[in-house]
Amino acid sequence: GAVVSQHPSRVICKSGTSVKIECRSLDFQATTMFWYRQFPKKSLMLMATSNEGSKATYEQGVEKDKFLINHASLTLSTLTVTSAHPEDSSFYICSARRPGLAGGSSYNEQFFGPGTRLTVL
């Protein structure tokens, strides 16, 4: 199978500090990773698409200067929440797309990390 890890699983920080969340694909190379935010009892909101070696593409309404994304290698993407505020408290989930043969059954399958619970005090 394809495994995606996230670190840390939980983080509590003070308002105004920055927090970095790592997303790693452990057994495959992911040219594309996605970052989602999940509010309580709500669906996942796509924040940005991260492509290895290029700038991330942010969804409308997501502040790129606040949520810094770096996709430094084919197995690692990081999300840094800068100058965190209590309203940034949420569950952040990443996913990694495993490339496959065009038209194959795994062509567009994404594998999700276990999520990171961020609490900003």
Partner 1 sequence: GNSVTQMEGPVTLSEEAFLTINCTYTATGYPSLFWYVQYPGEGLQLLLKATKADDKGSNKGFEATYRKETTSFHLEKGSVQVSDSAVYFCALSNSGAGSYQLTFGKGTKLSVIP
Smallest gap from Cβ 26 to partner 1, in A, equals 14
Judged by CB under 8 A, how many residues of this single chain contact partner 1?
Answer: 23
Q: Which of 119, 64, 61, 115 is nearest to 86 (CA)?
A: 119
Given the rule CB under 8 A, which of 13-21, 61-69, 72-80, 93-101 is the region that contacts partner 1?
A: 93-101
Q: What is the footprint of partner 1 within residues 95-114 (CB under 8 A)?
A: 95, 97, 105, 107-114
Residue pair 25/32 in contact (Cβ under 8 Å)? The answer is no
Query: Does residue 115 interact with partner 1 by CB under 8 A?
Result: yes
DSSP, residue by residue, 16-85 = T--EEEEEEESSS--SEEEEEEE-TTS-EEEEEEEETTSPPEEPTT--TTTEEEEEEETTEEEEEE-S--
Query: Does residue 43 interact with partner 1 by CB under 8 A?
Result: yes
Q: Which of 13, 28, 49, 70 binds partner 1 (CB under 8 A)?
A: 49
Name the residues that contact partner 1, by CB under 8 A.
6, 32, 34, 41-44, 46, 49, 93, 95, 97, 105, 107-115, 117
